[in-house]
Amino acid sequence: MGANEDDGIREHILPPIEQGLYTTVEISDELDTKAKKYLRGEGADLKDLKDKKLKGQLAVREELYGKSAKAAAKVEKWLLPSEGGYLEAEGIEKTWRIKQESIAREVDILSSRNQYDIVLPELGPYTLDFTSSGRYMAAAGRKGHLAVVDMKNMNVIKEIQVRETVRDVVFLHNELFFAAAQKKYPYIYNQEGTELHCLKEHGAVLRLQFLRNHFLLASVNKSGQLHYQDVTTGEMVGNFRTGFGRTDVMQVNPYNGVVALGHSGGTVTMWKPTTSAPLVKMLCHPGPISALAFHPNGHLMATSGKEKKIKIWDLRKFEVLQSIPVNAKCLDFSQKGLLAVGSGSFVQILGDLSGSQNYSRYMGHSMSKGYQIGKVRFRPYEDVLGIGHSMGWSSILIPGSGEPNFDSWVANPFETSKQRREKEVRSLLDKLPPETIMLEPSKIGTMRPARKKEKPNKQEREAEMEAAIEDVKSITLKKKTKGRNKPSKRAKKMQELVAKTKRPFMEQQSKEEQASAKKRQKLSEQVELPSSLQRFARKKLTI
């Protein structure tokens, strides 16, 4: 790539590597596209503002936002330590035919350690959960086996046997606490396996979810009741009967904290803890819903029905973007937007490869015959997919699924205990009240736009009147007796009806005309007449 004449001077300044690869124009273009992400939407439109002072202040603000977005884009371009994973086929290869074994041969030893099968045939099927940093995993076997595993060095931190059915397990705000949905009640355990709380109010819970920003534990039980409990105070924030029957399909939208439930009638409902009616009720499938997943940016939802179809929904318009004929028992979105679909003993990864929200085959992996996959979860900040199945749990490599760069203040896989303690305090200080759960969380702190009351104009009003008259005319009058059914009587009756419907419209019209006349009169008085003559003017007009 040769530098043109404009860049002739800069050629000497730039280090040789950059000279070879980029021109400055290209770099600034790239930074501009990157900065768009950090601007978080369009800036305020200042053209219509009349207040000059406010306009100036807002202009300064907007400039600052632009600057900080640029700085963030520069950080993304130059300072981030790692690059994302990828898988590219060469020649006639197809990415979905590439086997895990061949990937294992290509990658380093550290990564190939992430491919394994843990076979525990007695206590399965297993379900999994990862902490937000992806460092720790909790696994729960149906027959009462609970385990917390450090995924970095593959150490089992604690294993316990609760001798009861365990249906779901979920980590609370950090790896020290987890909740398990057992036969009759959910329980909270600490990392040592000590039972801390028994949450009797929840009942026999089928699915648990934890809302990290709000410190809420959400559960749905056998009788279809949805519970929200604040884990910091123990207060039961919400307790709603869904009225759609038993379900075990539940997922939190990470973008706004709204809980979605999939029901046997094919509807998906979305809930927040402060209202007893669902925010959204949408009919997604003709049959029962088998799984649900949300894209991390919150705008996409994937649902799968028992009729062997996956639908991708745009949550901003509540429209189907794509319908894929694939059977799915469980779904999960990765941080980079790959969709894992598990059914039977086969896992398929769908990817938005073209960038146009069109999901197509990316990778596949089949387990040994007879394994029934019950849960798929991508490990955050790693290119790893955890699979919980009837014979234990497995882990496979999915290049390009995880976010390569973590933020130490959001989720740190290399967190020390001191950092963890500090983070706990900080996140408790930033704990969101349950009222902040809403469909569009960016609305917080904004003003409600002033609602304009639109008056119908003259044509519209006339059209409305005509329509009302037509309606009246189309009525067939009752057949009357004793001479009251004469055509003349019937015509008179119809006329009366028409006049009756017309009256309110006419009255309103005359009222408005009067008002406008009064206004006009007032204006003319103020403008034209001297004060001594004004009393005469009013009299003249009223006569």
Partner 1 sequence: MKVKVISRSADEFTRERSQDLQRVYHNYDPNLRPQEKGVEYVRALNAAKLEKIFARPFIGAMDGHIDAVSCMAKNPNYLRGLFSGSMDGDIRLWDIASRRTVCHYPGHQGAVRGLTVSTDGHVMVSCGVDCTVRLWNVPVATLTDSDDSPDNSAEPLATYVWKNAFWAVDHQWDGDLFATAGGQVDIWNHNRSQPVNSFQWGTDTVISIKFNPGEPNVLATSASDRSIVLYDLRMSSPARKVIMRTRTNAISWNPMEPMNFTAANEDCNCYSYDTRKLEEAKCVHMGHESAVMDIDYSPTGREFVTGSYDRTIRIFQYNGGRSREIYHTKRMQRVFCVKFSCDASYVISGSDDTNLRLWKAKASEQLGVLHPRERRKHEYHEAIKNRYKHLPEVKRIVRHRHLPRPIYKAAALRRTMMEAERRKVERRKAHSTPGSILTAPLRKRRIIKEIE
Site for partner 1 in 233-292 (CB under 8 A): 254-257
- When asked if residue 314 is in the footprint of partner 1 (CB under 8 A), the reply is no
Q: CA–CA separation, 310 vs 327, rounded Å?
A: 7
With respect to partner 1, which residue has the nearer C-beta, 107 or 326? 107
Return the residues of window 439-458 that contact partner 1 according to CB under 8 A.
441-445, 447
- Confirm if 356 and 366 have CB atoms less than 8 A apart: no
> Both tokens of residue 331?
């779904």
SS3 for 346?
A: strand
Q: CA–CA separation, 323 vs 314, rounded Å?
A: 12
- When asked if residue 155 is in the footprint of partner 1 (CB under 8 A), the reply is no
With respect to partner 1, which residue has the nearer C-beta, 251 or 290? 251
> Both tokens of residue 244?
């759609």
Q: Which is nearest to 132 in space by CA: 516, 411, 433?
A: 411
Q: CB of 313: closest distance to partner 1 in angstroms? A: 19
> Taking contact as CB under 8 A, which single stretch among the options 21-29, 98-106, 122-130, 155-163 is the one that binds partner 1?
98-106
- When asked if residue 149 is in the footprint of partner 1 (CB under 8 A), the reply is no
With respect to partner 1, which residue has the nearer C-beta, 410 or 467? 410
> Both tokens of residue 66?
């632009």
- When asked if residue 82 is in the footprint of partner 1 (CB under 8 A), the reply is yes
Q: CB of 41: closest distance to partner 1 in angstroms? A: 10
Binding residues for partner 1, rule CB under 8 A, total: 71
Q: CB of 139: closest distance to partner 1 in angstroms? A: 22
Q: Degrees (nearest 5) of the Cα angle 18, 23, 29? A: 115
- When asked if residue 433 is in the footprint of partner 1 (CB under 8 A), the reply is yes
Residue with tokens 């039980």: 221
Q: Can you list the alpha helix ranges (DSSP code H) found in 430-533?
A: 458-473, 487-528
Q: CA–CA separation, 505 vs 9, rounded Å?
A: 77
Q: Which is nearest to 117 in space by CA: 404, 370, 400?
A: 370
DSSP string covering 258-319, please? -EEEE-TTSEEEEE-TT-SS-SEEEE--SS-EEEEEE-TTSSEEEEEETTTEEEEEETTTTE
Sheet-wide strand order for 289-294: 289-294, 300-305, 309-314, 319-324
With respect to partner 1, which residue has the nearer C-beta, 126 or 215? 215
Q: Which is nearest to 337 in space by CA: 397, 388, 400, 404?
A: 400
Q: CA–CA separation, 372 vs 392, rounded Å?
A: 10
- When asked if residue 156 is in the footprint of partner 1 (CB under 8 A), the reply is no
With respect to partner 1, which residue has the nearer C-beta, 476 or 526? 526
Q: Which is nearest to 375 in space by CA: 349, 398, 397, 393?
A: 393
Q: CB of 543: closest distance to partner 1 in angstroms? A: 21
- When asked if residue 98 is in the footprint of partner 1 (CB under 8 A), the reply is yes
Q: CB of 18: closest distance to partner 1 in angstroms? A: 23
- When asked if residue 180 is in the footprint of partner 1 (CB under 8 A), the reply is no
- When asked if residue 33 is in the footprint of partner 1 (CB under 8 A), the reply is no
Q: CB of 350: closest distance to partner 1 in angstroms? A: 18
Return the residues of window 453-512 that contact partner 1 according to CB under 8 A.
none
With respect to partner 1, which residue has the nearer C-beta, 126 or 378? 378
202: which DSSP letter? G
Return the residues of window 184-213 that contact partner 1 according to CB under 8 A.
213
Return the residues of window 335-354 that contact partner 1 according to CB under 8 A.
335
With respect to partner 1, which residue has the nearer C-beta, 87 or 138? 87
- When asked if residue 527 is in the footprint of partner 1 (CB under 8 A), the reply is no
With respect to partner 1, which residue has the nearer C-beta, 84 or 193? 84
> Taking contact as CB under 8 A, which single stretch among the options 37-45, 168-176, 305-313, 506-514 is the one that binds partner 1?
37-45
Return the residues of window 3-32 that contact partner 1 according to CB under 8 A.
none
- When asked if residue 54 is in the footprint of partner 1 (CB under 8 A), the reply is no
- Confirm if 254 and 296 have CB atoms less than 8 A apart: yes
With respect to partner 1, which residue has the nearer C-beta, 478 or 535? 535
Return the residues of window 369-428 that contact partner 1 according to CB under 8 A.
381-383, 397, 399, 402-411, 413-414, 416, 419
- When asked if residue 332 is in the footprint of partner 1 (CB under 8 A), the reply is no
Q: Degrees (nearest 5) of the Cα angle 517, 523, 528? A: 120
With respect to partner 1, which residue has the nearer C-beta, 360 or 442? 442
Q: CA–CA separation, 480 vs 460, rounded Å?
A: 37
76: which DSSP letter? I
